[in-house]
Amino acid sequence: MKVTIKEVAQLAGVGVGTASYALNGTGSTKVGARTRERVLAAARQLNYRVNTFGRALKMDRSYLVGAIFPTVRHESIPEIMQGMEDELTRHGYGMLFYTYSELEELRSKCRCLLDKRADGIILFPEAPHRHDYYDFYRELAASVPVVATSGHRQEELPRVLVDGYELGRIGTEYLIANGHRKIALVNDWLDWRTDGYRDVLAVHGIPFVPDYVFRDFSRPHDGPGLLSWWLEFPPEQRPTAVFCPSDGSAADLQNAAHDREIELPRELSVLGTDGLIIGTLAHPRLSSMGQPHYRQGAESVRLLLELITGSAPENVLLQPTLIPRESVWNFNRKN
Amino acid sequence: MKVTIKEVAQLAGVGVGTASYALNGTGSTKVGARTRERVLAAARQLNYRVNTFGRALKMDRSYLVGAIFPTVRHESIPEIMQGMEDELTRHGYGMLFYTYSELEELRSKCRCLLDKRADGIILFPEAPHRHDYYDFYRELAASVPVVATSGHRQEELPRVLVDGYELGRIGTEYLIANGHRKIALVNDWLDWRTDGYRDVLAVHGIPFVPDYVFRDFSRPHDGPGLLSWWLEFPPEQRPTAVFCPSDGSAADLQNAAHDREIELPRELSVLGTDGLIIGTLAHPRLSSMGQPHYRQGAESVRLLLELITGSAPENVLLQPTLIPRESVWNFNRKN
DNA sequence: ATAGACATGCGAAACGATTCGCATCAAGCA
DNA sequence: TGCTTGATGCGAATCGTTTCGCATGTCTAT
């Protein structure tokens, strides 16, 4: 399991330099076809595999990139990772996986990554409204290529994100098409979604009601929290549909509604975001704004690799797609 | 960003060897306290960080371990990964993440791992009934430390698994305690679960009905598939409870039942396995046999690290715990 | 026939760390 | 004083690559 390039060269009867050129295809002008063949044959025979460390030491390139996520418990992360892994493997890179839950941990994990000489880092940013994080992103990006992967508004870093405006627009359009007029929007940090929502309402001549937008981040963002917010509206003003920022919160809202014996989806329609498989396990099965997580991962890698090889890549904007299922009531069809 | 040990030694006014000893604490007998202090101070001042490749090259230790999963889409994997990551980081190791979907891909990903000189591999085995996989496991384990992490019966490799017998026993006991007598068991590869199930029935004097055990792997294992199997029983023989091998299949079964307007959980109780968060999004919220995924990940790492440092570790058997929620009807309480 | 151009290939140096044999020095002891 | 011993530290050798300068040999053109 420990055959070196020297032994390959010896068996092929050439110098180590020549063997290196032949093996890597570099200096293709410099090594004759017959010689190359001999080297390759010898390598195959000996089952030679390059020692990454020798190479990395000399070349100052590790072919490793780091991936840091705020917590794996966020359901869309596995799919993103899958996209990243596939794309990285196709380019001969390895992926170093880390998680963090607060800034200090992020710092120390990035230090680990730097120690391991990662060629670049893909960062899933959390809590993008906090300035200390922003400062750290900038500081980090100064010493190593970094790209952000997420739907957050992330001005600092090269990034791939999902078009929040379109997401809000398409989702709201769908609800309106199903006859909804009183539509609530639960906000996450993705403000663009609100713009899309508001614009579509305008197009259809539906007045924008500020109270229908849940912005209160001091309140719990979970099912019971959202439901009690919803219940505070007097019945005739109560939204007929709630547009949630994730499938988890949407399903949780549905379950809270079940507990109160509210009839779903007739009394309360719910539209999720993410289009995850968990949506099909909820009852009713969640309609959702699907996000292209796999592509998000793959594109992040593409960007990072460009960054590593020296070009200044353009940000990527991915489009969401509607996944209609059963959680939205259709007022137009007489059920 | 590229300060070497030589510069540290120079600044401290010592030889490189001495600097190395001082920095690593090795040869602590060999370097005087005052000298060590000087070296450490110099390192701090220059912000020195060891170059992993130089070290790895000399020591033949990469401080990298590979983690290979059949597919991230299996919901319990993120939690396992989290456990692995925490434990690895505590020991200064990095985790190389890969996925595979068939044997050939597993092979090639393991080759990547070997190329990157991973010190060991944690393998989440798939399809443990296939002999070609078994052969490969053995072959792989011959060239690098490997541990398996899963609930599968995996005789070849050092492994950490969850006690399937106890899982079957406790789950079945719970159903019986709720007044169920006709209990179906949906099998995965974990045969031990069947033993626990059968033994508990015997303890309670309930006859074992072979037909209540779903073993037909040619049929779809999903909600509609399971429901149609269930419906084939004549009503009076129909199981009142179905013990599922995952939360996903359990929730899917519930949704299929909703579609047929079967009243849950009165007409059909469902017990899941895994205790995942998705169980709380299903309706009714899934009762489930919780598996200690986080610990599973952490213990796998512990085993692997032992293996790497040369000892022959004992396999680890983790205990499942019951997570009662709302998907099991209680016949004893007059509802 | 000779010089220059070109194709091919050799092997030393370098990357940054660890480790080992050896040297130095001071103290202890006869 | 002379010798042993122990504590401390130096720097060369090494790990497996890649790359670069140089050497060799062949061919072409004059």
B309 confidence band (pLDDT: 50, 70, 90): confident
Note the pLDDT of residue A33: 82
- pLDDT above 90 covers what percent of chain B? 67
| Residue B238 near residue B267 (C-beta atoms within 8 A) | no
Using C1' positions and the CA of A15, the closest nucleotide is C10
A50–B285 CB contact, under 8 Å: no
Rounded CA-CA distance B146/B120 in Å is: 6
Strands B287-290 and B321-323: antiparallel
Note the pLDDT of residue B307: 92
Q: Would you tell me which residues have their CB within 7 A of strand C?
A: A 13-18, 29-32, 34-35, 54, 57-58; B 2, 4-6, 16-17, 20-21, 23-24, 26, 48-51, 53-55, 57-59
B92: left (phi over 0), alpha (psi -120 to 50) or beta: left
Tell me which of B127 and B83 has the higher pLDDT. Answer: B83
Residues of chain B positioned with their CB less than 8 A from the CB of A68: none
| CA B8 to C1' C26, whole Å | 28
Compare CB distances from B94 to A78, A112, A283 and report the shortest one's residue: A112
Compare CB distances from B96 to A96, A278, A282 and report the shortest one's residue: A96
Phi, psi of B122 (to 5 degrees): -105, 125
B82–A67 CB contact, under 8 Å: no
B52–A116 CB contact, under 8 Å: yes
Note the pLDDT of residue B179: 96
Chain C footprint positions (protein CB, under 7 Å): 7-21
| Residue A23 near residue A43 (C-beta atoms within 8 A) | yes
The whole-number average pLDDT for the span B198-222 is 88
pLDDT higher than threshold 60 for residue B335: no
- pLDDT per residue, tens digit, chain A (335 aa), is 678 999 999 898 888 989 999 888 876 567 788 888 999 999 999 999 999 999 999 998 999 999 999 876 778 899 999 999 999 999 989 999 999 998 999 999 999 999 889 999 999 987 656 788 888 998 999 989 999 987 566 567 899 989 999 999 999 999 999 999 999 999 876 578 999 999 999 999 999 999 999 987 666 668 999 999 999 999 999 999 999 998 999 999 999 999 999 999 999 999 999 999 889 999 999 999 999 999 999 999 999 999 998 888 889 999 999 999 999 999 987 55
The CB density around residue A10, as the number of other CB atoms within 10 Å, is: 15
pLDDT higher than threshold 70 for residue B172: yes
User: Minimal CA–CA distance to A246: which of A170, A187, A294?
Assistant: A187
The whole-number average pLDDT for the span B165-173 is 96
| CA A14 to C1' D24, whole Å | 14
B54–A57 CB contact, under 8 Å: yes
CA distances from A290 to A22, A25, A222 (A): 48, 43, 20
Rounded CA-CA distance B5/A317 in Å is: 44
Number of helices and strands in chain A (H, E): 12, 12
Question: For B7-54, what is each residue's pLDDT tens digit?
Answer: 999 898 888 989 998 888 876 567 788 888 999 999 999 999 999 999
Among chain A residues 277 through 306, which have CB within 7 angstroms of nucleic chain D?
none
Note the pLDDT of residue A53: 92
The C-alpha of B108 sits at a distance from chain A's nearest C-alpha, in angstroms, of 10
The C-alpha of B118 sits at a distance from chain A's nearest C-alpha, in angstroms, of 10
Note the pLDDT of residue A100: 93
DSSP conformation letters of B263-302: -TTTT-EEEEEE--GGGGTSSSPPEEEE--HHHHHHHHHH
The C-alpha of A307 sits at a distance from chain B's nearest C-alpha, in angstroms, of 18
Question: For B217-266, what is each residue's pLDDT tens digit?
Answer: 666 668 999 999 999 999 999 999 999 998 999 999 999 999 999 999 99
Tell me which of B60 and A328 has the higher pLDDT. Answer: A328
A64, two tokens: 């490793």
CA distances from B259 to A40, A150, A202 (A): 62, 36, 37
pLDDT higher than threshold 80 for residue B287: yes
Note the pLDDT of residue B127: 62
Note the pLDDT of residue A189: 63
Using C1' positions and the CA of B30, the closest nucleotide is D8
Could you report how far apart the first and last alpha carbons of chain A are, in Å?
Answer: 69
Note the pLDDT of residue B169: 97
Question: For B129-156, what is each residue's pLDDT tens digit?
Answer: 678 888 898 899 988 999 998 756 656 7
The C-alpha of B226 sits at a distance from chain A's nearest C-alpha, in angstroms, of 15
Using C1' positions and the CA of A29, the closest nucleotide is C7
Chain D footprint positions (protein CB, under 7 Å): 7-21
B294, two tokens: 């986080």
Residues of chain B positioned with their CB less than 8 A from the CB of A98: 85, 89, 95
Determine the residue of chain A that is closest to B85 in CA distance.
Answer: A98
CA distances from A13 to A2, A8, A10, A34 (A): 19, 8, 5, 12
Q: Facing residues of B322 across strands?
A: B289
| CA B29 to C1' C27, whole Å | 18
A281–B251 CB contact, under 8 Å: yes
Note the pLDDT of residue A310: 81
Q: Facing residues of B17 across strands?
A: none
Q: Facing residues of A245 across strands?
A: none
